[in-house]
Structure 1
Protein backbone atom coordinates (compact mmCIF):
# COMPACT_ATOMS: atom_id res chain seq x y z
CA UNK A 1 0.00 0.00 0.00
CA UNK A 2 1.26 3.45 -0.95
CA UNK A 3 0.37 6.02 1.69
CA UNK A 4 -0.06 9.68 0.73
CA UNK A 5 -0.30 12.14 3.62
CA UNK A 6 -1.03 15.84 3.40
CA UNK A 7 -3.31 18.68 4.44
CA UNK A 8 -6.57 20.29 3.46
CA UNK A 9 -5.17 23.13 1.37
CA UNK A 10 -1.68 24.59 1.18
CA UNK A 11 -2.34 28.36 1.31
CA UNK A 12 -2.39 28.57 5.08
CA UNK A 13 -1.30 31.96 6.38
CA UNK A 14 -1.09 30.47 9.89
CA UNK A 15 2.02 28.64 8.74
CA UNK A 16 4.03 31.84 8.38
CA UNK A 17 4.40 31.92 12.18
CA UNK A 18 7.93 31.53 13.57
CA UNK A 19 9.12 27.94 13.38
CA UNK A 20 6.52 26.79 10.85
CA UNK A 21 7.12 25.88 7.21
CA UNK A 22 6.19 29.21 5.62
CA UNK A 23 8.25 31.40 7.91
CA UNK A 24 10.03 33.83 5.61
CA UNK A 25 8.41 32.32 2.48
CA UNK A 26 6.59 34.49 -0.07
CA UNK A 27 3.04 33.38 -0.89
CA UNK A 28 4.02 32.60 -4.50
CA UNK A 29 6.37 29.94 -3.13
CA UNK A 30 3.95 28.30 -0.68
CA UNK A 31 3.23 25.31 -2.92
CA UNK A 32 6.90 24.74 -3.74
CA UNK A 33 7.69 24.75 -0.04
CA UNK A 34 4.71 22.55 0.81
CA UNK A 35 5.81 19.98 -1.77
CA UNK A 36 9.12 19.67 0.05
CA UNK A 37 7.30 18.30 3.10
CA UNK A 38 4.18 16.48 1.91
CA UNK A 39 3.38 14.17 -1.00
CA UNK A 40 -0.34 14.98 -1.20
CA UNK A 41 -2.64 17.96 -0.89
CA UNK A 42 -6.39 18.40 -0.92
CA UNK A 43 -7.24 21.35 -3.15
CA UNK A 44 -9.80 23.59 -1.43
CA UNK A 45 -9.93 26.50 -3.87
CA UNK A 46 -11.89 24.45 -6.44
CA UNK A 47 -14.83 24.32 -3.99
CA UNK A 48 -15.32 28.08 -4.41
CA UNK A 49 -14.32 28.49 -8.06
CA UNK A 50 -13.11 25.86 -10.50
CA UNK A 51 -9.57 26.76 -11.59
CA UNK A 52 -8.75 26.86 -15.28
CA UNK A 53 -6.17 24.85 -17.21
CA UNK A 54 -3.42 27.42 -16.67
CA UNK A 55 -3.95 27.39 -12.92
CA UNK A 56 -3.61 23.61 -12.81
CA UNK A 57 -0.56 23.81 -15.07
CA UNK A 58 0.97 26.16 -12.51
CA UNK A 59 0.21 23.76 -9.67
CA UNK A 60 1.84 20.87 -11.50
CA UNK A 61 4.91 22.99 -12.21
CA UNK A 62 5.27 24.51 -8.75
CA UNK A 63 4.88 21.17 -7.00
CA UNK A 64 7.77 19.83 -9.03
CA UNK A 65 5.98 16.54 -9.68
CA UNK A 66 6.26 15.67 -5.99
CA UNK A 67 2.71 16.05 -4.72
CA UNK A 68 -0.58 14.29 -5.56
CA UNK A 69 -3.65 16.53 -5.75
CA UNK A 70 -7.09 15.49 -4.52
CA UNK A 71 -9.44 18.01 -6.16
CA UNK A 72 -12.52 19.04 -4.20
CA UNK A 73 -15.69 19.35 -6.25
CA UNK A 74 -17.14 22.80 -6.55
CA UNK A 75 -20.03 23.65 -4.21
CA UNK A 76 -22.38 23.56 -7.22
CA UNK A 77 -22.07 19.76 -7.06
CA UNK A 78 -22.35 19.18 -3.31
CA UNK A 79 -24.08 22.09 -1.61
CA UNK A 80 -26.20 23.76 -4.31
CA UNK A 81 -26.61 20.41 -6.10
CA UNK A 82 -27.55 22.08 -9.38
CA UNK A 83 -24.45 21.76 -11.58
CA UNK A 84 -24.75 22.72 -15.23
CA UNK A 85 -23.20 20.84 -18.12
CA UNK A 86 -20.59 23.61 -18.24
CA UNK A 87 -19.77 22.94 -14.57
CA UNK A 88 -19.25 19.25 -15.32
CA UNK A 89 -17.10 20.03 -18.36
CA UNK A 90 -14.87 22.45 -16.47
CA UNK A 91 -14.59 20.22 -13.39
CA UNK A 92 -13.59 17.22 -15.50
CA UNK A 93 -11.36 18.94 -18.05
CA UNK A 94 -9.48 21.65 -16.14
CA UNK A 95 -7.30 19.27 -14.02
CA UNK A 96 -5.94 17.61 -17.18
CA UNK A 97 -2.42 19.04 -16.55
CA UNK A 98 -2.35 17.12 -13.26
CA UNK A 99 -3.33 13.90 -15.03
CA UNK A 100 -0.67 14.39 -17.69
CA UNK A 101 1.94 14.91 -14.96
CA UNK A 102 0.78 11.82 -13.01
CA UNK A 103 -0.28 14.01 -10.07
CA UNK A 104 -4.05 13.57 -10.07
CA UNK A 105 -5.56 11.93 -7.02
CA UNK A 106 -9.29 11.35 -6.45
CA UNK A 107 -11.95 13.97 -6.75
CA UNK A 108 -13.55 14.75 -3.40
CA UNK A 109 -17.29 15.30 -3.03
CA UNK A 110 -17.72 16.83 0.42
CA UNK A 111 -21.44 16.83 1.21
CA UNK A 112 -22.82 18.86 4.13
CA UNK A 113 -24.43 17.42 7.25
CA UNK A 114 -27.83 18.43 5.83
CA UNK A 115 -27.41 15.89 3.01
CA UNK A 116 -29.36 13.02 4.60
CA UNK A 117 -29.93 9.57 3.15
CA UNK A 118 -33.21 10.19 1.35
CA UNK A 119 -34.50 8.76 -1.91
CA UNK A 120 -33.92 12.11 -3.64
CA UNK A 121 -30.34 12.39 -2.40
CA UNK A 122 -29.60 8.79 -3.32
CA UNK A 123 -30.77 9.49 -6.87
CA UNK A 124 -28.63 12.62 -7.00
CA UNK A 125 -25.57 10.70 -5.84
CA UNK A 126 -26.18 8.11 -8.56
CA UNK A 127 -26.34 10.83 -11.23
CA UNK A 128 -23.11 12.33 -9.93
CA UNK A 129 -21.48 8.91 -9.99
CA UNK A 130 -22.50 8.39 -13.61
CA UNK A 131 -21.17 11.78 -14.70
CA UNK A 132 -17.79 11.11 -13.05
CA UNK A 133 -17.54 7.56 -14.35
CA UNK A 134 -13.95 6.70 -15.23
CA UNK A 135 -12.54 8.99 -12.52
CA UNK A 136 -11.82 8.23 -8.89
CA UNK A 137 -14.46 9.91 -6.74
CA UNK A 138 -14.22 9.99 -2.94
CA UNK A 139 -17.47 10.88 -1.16
CA UNK A 140 -17.73 12.36 2.32
CA UNK A 141 -21.21 11.85 3.78
CA UNK A 142 -21.43 13.66 7.11
CA UNK A 143 -24.85 12.54 8.29
CA UNK A 144 -25.00 9.28 10.25
CA UNK A 145 -27.89 7.98 8.14
CA UNK A 146 -25.33 7.01 5.48
CA UNK A 147 -23.04 5.18 7.90
CA UNK A 148 -24.27 1.68 7.06
CA UNK A 149 -22.62 -1.43 5.57
CA UNK A 150 -25.17 -1.57 2.74
CA UNK A 151 -24.30 2.00 1.71
CA UNK A 152 -20.61 1.18 1.53
CA UNK A 153 -21.37 -2.04 -0.33
CA UNK A 154 -23.31 -0.08 -2.91
CA UNK A 155 -20.55 2.51 -3.19
CA UNK A 156 -18.07 -0.28 -3.82
CA UNK A 157 -20.23 -1.65 -6.62
CA UNK A 158 -20.28 1.77 -8.27
CA UNK A 159 -16.55 2.33 -7.77
CA UNK A 160 -16.95 5.11 -5.22
CA UNK A 161 -14.47 5.70 -2.39
CA UNK A 162 -16.02 6.04 1.07
CA UNK A 163 -14.35 8.90 2.94
CA UNK A 164 -13.46 7.68 6.43
CA UNK A 165 -13.72 10.69 8.75
CA UNK A 166 -12.59 11.70 12.20
CA UNK A 167 -15.08 14.16 13.70
CA UNK A 168 -15.60 15.47 17.23
CA UNK A 169 -17.54 12.90 19.30
CA UNK A 170 -20.88 14.72 19.14
CA UNK A 171 -23.15 12.04 17.68
CA UNK A 172 -25.17 12.18 14.48
CA UNK A 173 -22.11 11.69 12.27
CA UNK A 174 -20.27 8.59 10.97
CA UNK A 175 -18.07 6.70 13.40
CA UNK A 176 -14.27 7.12 13.24
CA UNK A 177 -13.38 3.92 11.39
CA UNK A 178 -11.38 3.13 8.25
CA UNK A 179 -13.79 1.59 5.77
CA UNK A 180 -12.69 0.14 2.45
CA UNK A 181 -14.92 0.16 -0.66
CA UNK A 182 -12.19 -0.53 -3.23
CA UNK A 183 -8.43 -0.64 -3.56
CA UNK A 184 -8.12 3.08 -2.70
CA UNK A 185 -9.09 4.50 0.69
CA UNK A 186 -9.46 8.11 1.80
CA UNK A 187 -9.24 9.45 5.35
CA UNK A 188 -10.02 13.00 6.53
CA UNK A 189 -9.00 14.02 10.04
CA UNK A 190 -11.04 17.04 11.11
CA UNK A 191 -9.95 17.23 14.74
CA UNK A 192 -12.09 16.66 17.81
CA UNK A 193 -12.95 20.17 18.98
CA UNK A 194 -16.43 19.62 20.40
CA UNK A 195 -16.82 23.22 21.50
CA UNK A 196 -16.46 24.80 18.07
CA UNK A 197 -17.73 22.19 15.60
CA UNK A 198 -21.30 23.50 15.51
CA UNK A 199 -20.76 26.90 17.10
CA UNK A 200 -17.50 27.93 15.43
CA UNK A 201 -17.73 30.97 13.21
CA UNK A 202 -15.22 29.66 10.68
CA UNK A 203 -13.56 26.48 9.43
CA UNK A 204 -10.40 27.60 11.23
CA UNK A 205 -12.25 27.58 14.56
CA UNK A 206 -13.88 24.20 13.89
CA UNK A 207 -10.52 22.65 13.07
CA UNK A 208 -8.61 24.18 15.97
CA UNK A 209 -7.45 20.90 17.49
CA UNK A 210 -4.10 19.22 18.09
CA UNK A 211 -4.25 15.43 18.15
CA UNK A 212 -2.35 13.62 20.87
CA UNK A 213 0.24 10.95 20.12
CA UNK A 214 -2.18 8.36 21.54
CA UNK A 215 -4.85 9.48 19.05
CA UNK A 216 -2.38 9.16 16.18
CA UNK A 217 -1.45 5.68 17.42
CA UNK A 218 -5.15 4.83 17.41
CA UNK A 219 -5.49 5.78 13.75
CA UNK A 220 -2.27 4.00 12.82
CA UNK A 221 -3.68 0.79 14.33
CA UNK A 222 -6.88 1.14 12.29
CA UNK A 223 -4.93 1.79 9.10
CA UNK A 224 -2.61 -1.17 9.68
CA UNK A 225 -5.63 -3.49 9.89
CA UNK A 226 -6.69 -2.71 6.30
CA UNK A 227 -3.26 -2.15 4.73
CA UNK A 228 -3.28 -5.49 2.92
CA UNK A 229 -6.61 -4.66 1.25
CA UNK A 230 -5.43 -1.43 -0.39
CA UNK A 231 -3.12 -0.22 -3.12
CA UNK A 232 -3.33 3.45 -2.05
CA UNK A 233 -4.38 5.38 1.02
CA UNK A 234 -4.84 9.15 1.17
CA UNK A 235 -4.79 10.80 4.60
CA UNK A 236 -5.63 14.50 4.79
CA UNK A 237 -5.40 16.53 7.99
CA UNK A 238 -7.95 19.35 8.14
CA UNK A 239 -6.65 20.75 11.46
CA UNK A 240 -4.36 23.22 9.73
CA UNK A 241 -5.23 26.01 12.19
CA UNK A 242 -2.14 27.25 14.09
CA UNK A 243 -0.06 24.60 12.34
CA UNK A 244 -1.59 21.70 14.30
CA UNK A 245 -1.42 19.41 11.26
CA UNK A 246 2.30 20.10 10.92
CA UNK A 247 2.81 18.59 14.36
CA UNK A 248 0.46 15.65 13.85
CA UNK A 249 1.72 14.40 10.48
CA UNK A 250 5.17 13.38 11.77
CA UNK A 251 3.40 11.58 14.64
CA UNK A 252 1.27 9.57 12.22
CA UNK A 253 4.24 8.78 9.98
CA UNK A 254 6.18 7.43 12.94
CA UNK A 255 3.20 5.45 14.22
CA UNK A 256 2.59 3.84 10.83
CA UNK A 257 6.24 2.96 10.25
CA UNK A 258 6.37 1.41 13.72
CA UNK A 259 3.48 -0.87 12.72
CA UNK A 260 5.07 -2.05 9.50
CA UNK A 261 3.17 0.34 7.23
CA UNK A 262 5.89 2.11 5.25
CA UNK A 263 5.41 5.84 4.78
CA UNK A 264 7.65 7.89 2.54
CA UNK A 265 8.88 11.27 3.68
CA UNK A 266 9.61 13.63 0.76
CA UNK A 267 13.28 14.05 -0.05
CA UNK A 268 14.79 17.48 0.70
CA UNK A 269 14.30 20.06 -2.03
CA UNK A 270 17.16 20.65 -4.40
CA UNK A 271 19.59 23.38 -3.41
CA UNK A 272 18.31 26.76 -4.51
CA UNK A 273 14.64 25.78 -4.42
CA UNK A 274 12.17 27.61 -2.21
CA UNK A 275 12.87 26.03 1.16
CA UNK A 276 13.09 28.92 3.60
CA UNK A 277 10.56 27.40 5.93
CA UNK A 278 10.98 24.46 8.26
CA UNK A 279 8.52 21.79 9.27
CA UNK A 280 8.86 22.49 12.99
Structure 2
Protein backbone atom coordinates (compact mmCIF):
# COMPACT_ATOMS: atom_id res chain seq x y z
CA UNK A 1 0.00 0.00 0.00
CA UNK A 2 1.27 3.45 -0.82
CA UNK A 3 -0.27 6.86 -0.20
CA UNK A 4 1.39 9.85 -1.84
CA UNK A 5 0.60 12.90 0.29
CA UNK A 6 2.45 15.45 2.46
CA UNK A 7 1.86 13.88 5.89
CA UNK A 8 2.96 10.31 5.17
CA UNK A 9 6.39 9.02 4.20
CA UNK A 10 6.66 8.01 0.53
CA UNK A 11 6.68 4.23 1.02
CA UNK A 12 5.28 1.29 -0.89
CA UNK A 13 5.09 -1.56 1.59
CA UNK A 14 3.73 -4.86 0.32
CA UNK A 15 1.16 -6.01 2.86
CA UNK A 16 -0.68 -8.40 0.53
CA UNK A 17 1.08 -10.27 -2.30
CA UNK A 18 -2.20 -10.46 -4.24
CA UNK A 19 -2.92 -6.73 -4.40
CA UNK A 20 -1.05 -3.50 -3.89
CA UNK A 21 -2.94 -0.19 -3.83
CA UNK A 22 -1.27 3.14 -4.56
CA UNK A 23 -3.16 6.40 -4.11
CA UNK A 24 -1.77 9.68 -5.42
CA UNK A 25 -3.21 12.64 -3.50
CA UNK A 26 -0.51 15.18 -4.31
CA UNK A 27 1.43 17.79 -2.40
CA UNK A 28 -0.82 20.83 -2.78
CA UNK A 29 -1.07 23.27 0.12
CA UNK A 30 -4.83 23.61 0.47
CA UNK A 31 -6.07 21.02 -0.30
CA UNK A 32 -3.41 18.36 -0.96
CA UNK A 33 -5.15 17.05 -4.04
CA UNK A 34 -4.98 20.40 -5.87
CA UNK A 35 -1.68 19.31 -7.35
CA UNK A 36 -0.30 18.53 -10.78
CA UNK A 37 2.52 15.97 -10.61
CA UNK A 38 5.41 16.90 -12.89
CA UNK A 39 6.58 14.43 -15.52
CA UNK A 40 9.81 14.00 -13.51
CA UNK A 41 7.81 13.08 -10.39
CA UNK A 42 5.73 10.59 -12.35
CA UNK A 43 8.86 9.07 -13.91
CA UNK A 44 10.28 8.60 -10.39
CA UNK A 45 7.09 6.92 -9.16
CA UNK A 46 6.93 4.73 -12.27
CA UNK A 47 10.38 3.37 -11.37
CA UNK A 48 9.15 2.61 -7.84
CA UNK A 49 6.03 0.90 -9.17
CA UNK A 50 8.12 -1.22 -11.57
CA UNK A 51 10.02 -2.56 -8.53
CA UNK A 52 6.76 -4.18 -7.40
CA UNK A 53 6.64 -6.29 -10.58
CA UNK A 54 6.89 -9.96 -9.68
CA UNK A 55 6.26 -9.25 -5.99
CA UNK A 56 2.55 -8.45 -6.30
CA UNK A 57 -0.04 -10.11 -8.56
CA UNK A 58 -2.12 -6.99 -9.15
CA UNK A 59 -1.54 -3.26 -8.61
CA UNK A 60 -4.35 -0.72 -8.33
CA UNK A 61 -3.41 2.93 -8.82
CA UNK A 62 -5.73 5.84 -8.10
CA UNK A 63 -5.08 9.55 -8.68
CA UNK A 64 -7.13 11.71 -6.30
CA UNK A 65 -5.74 15.06 -7.52
CA UNK A 66 -8.87 15.87 -9.49
CA UNK A 67 -8.61 19.69 -9.69
CA UNK A 68 -8.34 20.98 -13.28
CA UNK A 69 -8.26 17.43 -14.66
CA UNK A 70 -4.86 16.71 -13.10
CA UNK A 71 -5.85 13.13 -12.19
CA UNK A 72 -6.68 12.23 -15.78
CA UNK A 73 -3.58 13.96 -17.15
CA UNK A 74 -1.24 12.43 -14.58
CA UNK A 75 -2.71 8.95 -14.96
CA UNK A 76 -2.16 9.06 -18.74
CA UNK A 77 1.47 10.11 -18.22
CA UNK A 78 1.99 7.28 -15.71
CA UNK A 79 0.35 4.77 -18.05
CA UNK A 80 2.74 5.85 -20.80
CA UNK A 81 5.72 5.44 -18.44
CA UNK A 82 4.50 1.96 -17.47
CA UNK A 83 3.72 1.09 -21.12
CA UNK A 84 0.02 0.53 -20.37
CA UNK A 85 -2.51 1.34 -23.09
CA UNK A 86 -5.76 2.97 -21.92
CA UNK A 87 -8.96 1.00 -22.55
CA UNK A 88 -10.48 4.09 -24.15
CA UNK A 89 -7.84 6.36 -25.68
CA UNK A 90 -8.60 10.03 -24.88
CA UNK A 91 -9.41 10.86 -28.50
CA UNK A 92 -12.07 8.14 -28.67
CA UNK A 93 -14.20 9.52 -25.85
CA UNK A 94 -17.08 11.59 -27.21
CA UNK A 95 -19.06 13.68 -24.75
CA UNK A 96 -22.18 13.60 -26.92
CA UNK A 97 -22.07 9.79 -27.00
CA UNK A 98 -21.91 9.66 -23.19
CA UNK A 99 -24.75 12.19 -22.86
CA UNK A 100 -26.92 10.21 -25.32
CA UNK A 101 -26.37 6.93 -23.48
CA UNK A 102 -27.31 8.54 -20.17
CA UNK A 103 -30.45 10.10 -21.67
CA UNK A 104 -29.25 13.63 -20.90
CA UNK A 105 -29.68 14.63 -24.56
CA UNK A 106 -31.96 13.21 -27.28
CA UNK A 107 -30.53 10.35 -29.36
CA UNK A 108 -31.03 12.28 -32.63
CA UNK A 109 -28.94 15.25 -31.43
CA UNK A 110 -25.54 15.41 -33.18
CA UNK A 111 -23.70 17.96 -31.03
CA UNK A 112 -23.94 19.83 -27.74
CA UNK A 113 -24.40 23.28 -29.32
CA UNK A 114 -28.17 22.74 -29.67
CA UNK A 115 -28.30 21.63 -26.06
CA UNK A 116 -26.98 24.99 -24.83
CA UNK A 117 -28.96 27.22 -27.21
CA UNK A 118 -32.20 28.68 -25.85
Aligned residue in 2 for 1:210: 36
1:191 is aligned to 2:26: yes
Q: Provide the C-alpha distance between the structure 2 equivalents of 1:242 and 1:274, rounded to a whole number of angstroms.
A: 20
Q: Provide the C-alpha distance between the structure 2 equivalents of 1:230 and 1:273, rounded to a whole number of angstroms.
A: 37
Structure 1 ranges of 4+ moved more than 4 A: none
Query: Cα RMSD over matched residues?
Result: 2.2
Aligned residue in 2 for 1:175: 9
Aligned residue in 1 for 2:86: 265
Q: Provide the C-alpha distance between the structure 2 equivalents of 1:244 and 1:180, rounded to a whole number of angstroms.
A: 27
3-state SS in 2 of match to 1:208: coil
Aligned residue in 2 for 1:247: 73
3-state SS in 1 of match to 2:85: coil
Structure 2 length-normalised TM? 0.70
Query: Which protein, 1 or 2, shows the higher relative CO under an 8 Å CA cutoff with sep ≥ 6?
Result: 1
Alignment gaps of 5+ in structure 2: 100-110, 112-118
Q: How many residues align?
A: 95
Alignment of 1:1-280 (within 5 A): 163-168=1-6, 173-182=7-16, 183-193=18-28, 195-196=29-30, 205-257=31-83, 263-267=84-88, 268=92, 273-274=97-98
Structure 1 length-normalised TM? 0.31
Alignment gaps of 5+ in structure 1: 1-162, 197-204, 258-262
Cα distance change on mapping 1:223 and 1:269 into 2, 3 Å: same
Kept in 1, the 8 Å contact 2:5–2:32? The answer is no
